[in-house]
Amino acid sequence: QPPPGPEALRERALTALLAARERTALLTDCVEGPELTAQHSPLMSPLVWDLAHIGNQEELWLVRAVGGRDPLRPEIDSLYDAFEHPRAERPSLPLLAPEEARRYAAEVRGRALDVLASAPVEGERLTASGFAFGMVAQHEQQHDETMLVTHQLRRGPAVLDAPAPPDPVAEAPLPGPEALVPGGPFTMGTSAEPWALDNERPAHRRDVAAFWLDTAPVTCGAYQRFIEDGGYDEARWWHPAGLRMVREHDVRAPLFWRREGTAWVRRRFGVVEPVPADEPVVHVSWYEADAYARWAGRRLPTEAEWEKAARFDPASGRARRYPWGDTDPGPVHANLGQRHLRPAPVGAYPAGRSPLGIGQLIGDVWEWTADDFLPYPGFAPFPYREYSEVFFGDAHKVLRGGSFGVDPVACRGTFRNWDLPVRRQIFAGFRTARNAAEGEGAA
């Protein structure tokens, strides 16, 4: 297949930018001005900060860096620099008011599209395959997911709505509770995916011993058994820092869960409903995922194991873009893009399964892995150190696979997300793994 020409690359960038802005509008037009400037949780920015920050990053990268144009509003750069101002102090900054922020983002967008019409898209690395445009679209979509988290945290009646995700397909059951992933080398990361971010690069060889992996994320029903079994009270299941977290903050269930009589209910985007037993559990920290796995006699998969399960095709020996192959995600493959406002029950999306029958690796819930966020061998920061490099180390754990709230443009088999192990408001769940026995799945 010939590589796409400049017009196709421009078209792809334009489509991604427009889709992101449509979603940003959906998330910010449905609440009144005071709600946009309010801080719904000290863990989150006011929505109006995200809005102008999205515009400001687009100005920095597309208008100034790629377009070489003069700044529109250089005086606001520091207000919207995530490193200068931690989330807690953002509400007290002299932020642009909602109408001003909308106008600013729209003005930037007008200029960015102007740049897109004439900039080289196949030149140096920042413009190669329209990378800067893809990066900015992914950035906006990532903040859209963050804004969706803010919506989940906000109190008051529901303002967002979406149809229920698809049910499991009776004719296409999962092959069993777990699948054996064979041992041997595979290619982790990518050097080919044009819009892959710096931390996904470069492609490199990884040896992974044979292991068993859950064919679906851990469900609310299974997690409830951990709770009922006194899981939160048993020190032996917990990482010491995790035990400190649950004791200090009296954590006894996933965030947004509440006991009502003998049943569990949860608040989900302004609606209180029974906890669904067959849905992947969401809003658990890494510490809770890790404790559950130990209670179950299992462990979290490593990042390499997760990626091998999601990309390795035993028939060809090749690492593909997604569990189902190389085609972009469609509605039959995965629960992505805020089409639904919750994970789909396990067993849904049979067309999205891996060759080994492992389901729902992409979409539904971000999946905690065992590993710290570290660079791959040969990593080079691009285009700025603050995107990934400053987060490498033992403070952050890697999440994989994407949630119902991430857009396909910011989700693929190689995509790496990271967060603190105490984080609970993000759309994160997990699945578990175990080592294969001697001789099982030998390469």
Least distance from C-beta 58 to ligand AVJ, angstroms?
12
Annotated binding residues, as ranges? 53, 87-90, 139, 143, 419, 423
- Burial of 7 (C-beta count, 10 Å sphere; 0-12/13-18/19+): exposed
Q: CB-wise, 348 or 410, nearer to ligand AVJ? A: 410
Task: Please state the closest distance from residue 442 (CB atom) to ligand AVJ, in A.
Answer: 36
Handedness of CA 232, 237, 241, 243 (dihedral sign): positive
Q: Shortest gap between Cβ of 57 and ligand AVJ (angstroms)? A: 7
Within residues 104-143, the interface with ligand AVJ by CB under 6 A covers 139, 142-143
Instruction: Based on the shown chain and the rule CB under 6 A, indicate whether residue 37 belongs to the binding site for ligand AVJ.
Output: no
CB of 352 to ligand AVJ, least distance (A): 22
Closest CB to ligand AVJ among residues 142, 302: 142
Which single residue is written with the structure tokens 């403070």?
395
Number of residues this chain uses to bind ligand AVJ (CB under 6 A): 6
Q: Which residues on adjacent β-strands are paired with residue 419?
A: 397
Judged by beta carbon, residue 109 or residue 294, the one nearer ligand AVJ is: 109
Give the residue with the Cβ less far from ligand AVJ, 37 or 142: 142
66 in Cβ contact with 130 (< 8 Å): no
Question: Cβ 425 to ligand AVJ, closest distance in Å?
Answer: 12
CB-nearer residue toward ligand AVJ: 192 or 420: 420
- Measured from the CB atom, the residue of 139 and 154 that comes closer to ligand AVJ is 139
State the nearest-atom distance from the C-beta of 215 to ligand AVJ, in Å. Answer: 27
Token duo for residue 28: 């910010």
* Annotation: binding site for Fe cation: 53, 139, 143
Rounded to the nearest whole angstrom, what is the least distance from the CB of residue 149 to ligand AVJ in the complex? 10
Task: Please say which residue, 215 or 417, places its beta carbon nearer to ligand AVJ.
Answer: 417
As a whole number of angstroms, the longest Cα–Cα distance in the chain is 64
User: Residue 250 region, left (φ>0) first, then alpha (ψ -120 to 50), else beta?
Assistant: left
Q: How far is the CB of 76 from ligand AVJ (least distance, A)?
A: 16
Half-sphere exposure for 19 (CA within 13 Å, toward CB): 22
Say whether 322 sits in a helix, a strand or coil: strand
SS3 label, residue 262: coil
User: Least separation, in Å, of the C-beta of 416 and ligand AVJ?
Assistant: 8
For 347, residues 6+ apart whose C-beta sits below 8 A from its C-beta are: 168, 169, 172, 173, 174, 216, 278, 359
Closest CA to 322 of 398, 399, 401: 401
**Residue, CB closest to ligand AVJ:** 142
**Residue of 61, 232, 418, 430 interacting with ligand AVJ (CB under 6 A):** 418
Binding residues for gamma-L-glutamyl-L-cysteine: 87-90, 419, 423
What is the rounded distance in angstroms from the CA atom of residue 124 to the CA atom of residue 106? 27
In the complex with ligand AVJ, which residue's Cβ is closer, 139 or 151? 139
Helices 131-153, 98-118: axis angle to 10 degrees equals 160
Cite the beta strand spans of 288-441 per DSSP E: 312-313, 318-319, 366-373, 393-400, 417-419, 428-429, 433-435
Backbone angles phi, psi at 17, to 5 degrees: -65, -45
Q: How is the beta sheet containing 393-400 ordered, strand by strand?
A: 417-419, 393-400, 366-373, 428-429
**Contacts of ligand AVJ in 137-176 (CB under 6 A):** 139, 142-143, 146
Site for ligand AVJ in 329-388 (CB under 6 A): none
* Residue 407 neighbours by CB under 8 Å, 6+ apart: 19, 20, 23, 141, 144, 145, 336, 337, 338
Among 127, 403, 417, 432, which residue interacts with ligand AVJ (rule: CB under 6 A)? 417
State how far the Cα of 173 lies from the Cα of 22, in Å rounded to an integer. 36
12 or 139: whose CB is closer to ligand AVJ?
Answer: 139
Q: Which residues bind ligand AVJ (CB under 6 A)?
A: 139, 142-143, 146, 417-418
